[in-house]
């Protein structure tokens, strides 16, 4: 399939709440040419907002895995004493209790994780099992809770925490800013922090503010892109991406 030769590069998009990362990809693809390959460097949950790096055309999308491997920065807000099956506000509440934690306890919990730990991913995630996302298995209850719990335990991985700051603490909510390694689930991290204090937590707001050297302040809201000209006017070229990442990108 022939792609538009003049639409090649990378786009920084500020994803809105309520859309999946794939929705954003489809939106941009519809503006350039439906035959043009478009992909993204890292999924954001539908309820989350923030930075998506999109690759436009095959010459760019083949480098998305290199961008995906970069560290990510997030800001998140969670409610203590509330637990949903998805660990976020889109899920079904399975447990709720009063919470009397203090700011000092939460700061101690953050410090206790140090520079990283072995994280168990959430059941509701895009991780694959038997060719399907775990979230799909969970929704249709094809495997059962015990089997799903065993699968995610097997998929636990070491994550890095480069920095984590407690931004706000006003019960029952707390907010953090964290820079973490690729593959970190912030929903899980927020609940893991709460569990360190003897409680649990559900993420209500999640925003990705950076991927490596790219910041959401330099991204444009998806609604800004109305046509192919808007896309072309805001593309990061392969040469410029090479400068950012030090990776040779030749069409």
pLDDT confidence of residue 2: 40
- 45 assigned to active site: yes
What are the structural domains of the chain?
9-69+212-245 (3.30.70), 72-120+156-211 (3.30.2350.10), 121-155 (no CATH)
For residue range 109-156, list pLDDT tens digits in order.
999 999 999 998 887 666 655 566 666 655 656 666 667 767 776 778
| Euclidean distance between CA atoms 64 and 41, whole angstroms | 5
Q: Nearest-CA neighbor of 150 among 125, 126, 123?
A: 123
For residue range 154-193, list pLDDT tens digits in order.
778 999 999 999 999 999 999 999 999 999 999 999 999 9
Question: What's the pTM value of the predicted model, to 2 decimals?
Answer: 0.89
pLDDT confidence of residue 3: 45
For residue range 4-26, list pLDDT tens digits in order.
557 999 999 999 999 999 999 99
Whether 1 has a pLDDT exceeding 50, the answer reads no
Question: Can you tell me whether residue 122 is helix, strand or coil?
Answer: coil
pLDDT confidence of residue 121: 86
For residue range 52-91, list pLDDT tens digits in order.
999 999 999 999 999 999 999 999 999 999 999 999 999 9
pLDDT confidence of residue 34: 78
The predicted model gives 237-245 an average pLDDT of 87
For residue range 193-235, list pLDDT tens digits in order.
999 999 999 999 999 999 999 999 999 999 999 999 999 999 9
The predicted model gives 35-63 an average pLDDT of 94
Cβ-proximal residues to 233 (8 Å cutoff; 6+ apart), any chain: none
Set 6, 14, 45, 240: catalytic member: 45
């Amino acid at each position: 399939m022939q792609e538009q030769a003049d639409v090649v590069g990378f786009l920084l998009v500020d994803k809105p709440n309520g859309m999946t990362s794939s929705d954003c990809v489809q939106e941009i693809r519809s503006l350039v040419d439906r035959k043009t390959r478009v992909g993204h460097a890292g999924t954001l949950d539908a309820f989350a907002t923030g930075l998506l790096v999109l690759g436009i055309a095959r010459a760019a999308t083949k480098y998305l895995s290199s961008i995906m491997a970069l560290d990510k920065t997030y800001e998140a807000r969670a409610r203590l004493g509330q637990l949903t099956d998805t660990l976020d506000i889109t899920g079904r509440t399975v447990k709720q209790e009063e919470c009397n934690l203090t700011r000092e306890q939460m700061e101690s919990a953050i410090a206790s994780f140090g520079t990283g730990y072995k994280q168990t991913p959430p059941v509701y995630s895009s991780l694959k099992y038997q060719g399907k996302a775990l979230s799909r298995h969970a929704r249709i209850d094809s495997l059962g809770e015990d089997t799903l719990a065993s699968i995610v335990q097997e998929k636990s991985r070491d994550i890095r925490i480069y920095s984590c700051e407690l931004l706000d603490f006003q019960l029952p909510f707390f907010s953090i800013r964290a820079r973490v390694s690729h593959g970190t689930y912030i929903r899980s991290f927020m609940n893991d922090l709460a569990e360190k204090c003897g409680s649990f937590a559900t993420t209500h707001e999640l925003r990705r503010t950076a991927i490596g050297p790219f910041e959401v302040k330099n991204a444009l809201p998806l609604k800004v892109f109305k046509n192919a000209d808007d896309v072309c006017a805001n593309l990061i070229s392969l040469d410029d991406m090479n400068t950012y990442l030090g990776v040779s990108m030749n069409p």
